[in-house]
Amino acid sequence: MFVELYVIYHGLILAKDMEIDEIVCYFDSLYCFNLAKGPNVKHHIHVVLIQDIKKLFSHDNVTVCHILKKGNKCVDFLAKFGASSITNHFIYASP
């Protein structure tokens, strides 16, 4: 769960740094989706990360959606591609 929240956070930071005006954020974890979009949590191991994600959602024009893992083939491909890559970090400028 930490990895999924961490990736969402850094993806939002990257989009903000690239000055992207409108962001659509898809969660394939319903639990993480509910943490990020639900009421504020006080007692959670990742409460600071969750609060930071909520702040980014409130400041930017962000649409948040839940998607089934089966329907998220692009992310699945990129995750498998990244796992087999020797580089630590790579940014694609366009889809």
- The pLDDT value recorded for residue 31 is 85
pTM for the predicted model, two decimal places: 0.74
Contact predicate 12/60, CB 8 Å: yes
- The pLDDT value recorded for residue 60 is 63
Measure the CA angle with vertex 31, ends 28 and 57; round to 5°.
75
Q: CB 38: neighbour CB atoms within 10 A? A: 10
Give me the phi and psi of 56, to 5 degrees please: -65, -35
Average pLDDT of each block of 10 consecutive residues along the chain (95 residues)? 84 87 83 83 86 84 81 75 75 70
Domain 2-83 has CATH 3.30.420.10: yes
Q: CB 25: neighbour CB atoms within 10 A? A: 19
Give me the phi and psi of 24, to 5 degrees please: -115, 120
| Domains in the chain: boundaries | 2-83
Residue whose C-alpha is closest to residue 13's, from 76, 83, 60: 60
- The pLDDT value recorded for residue 68 is 81
Extended strands (E) in the chain: 22-27, 61-66
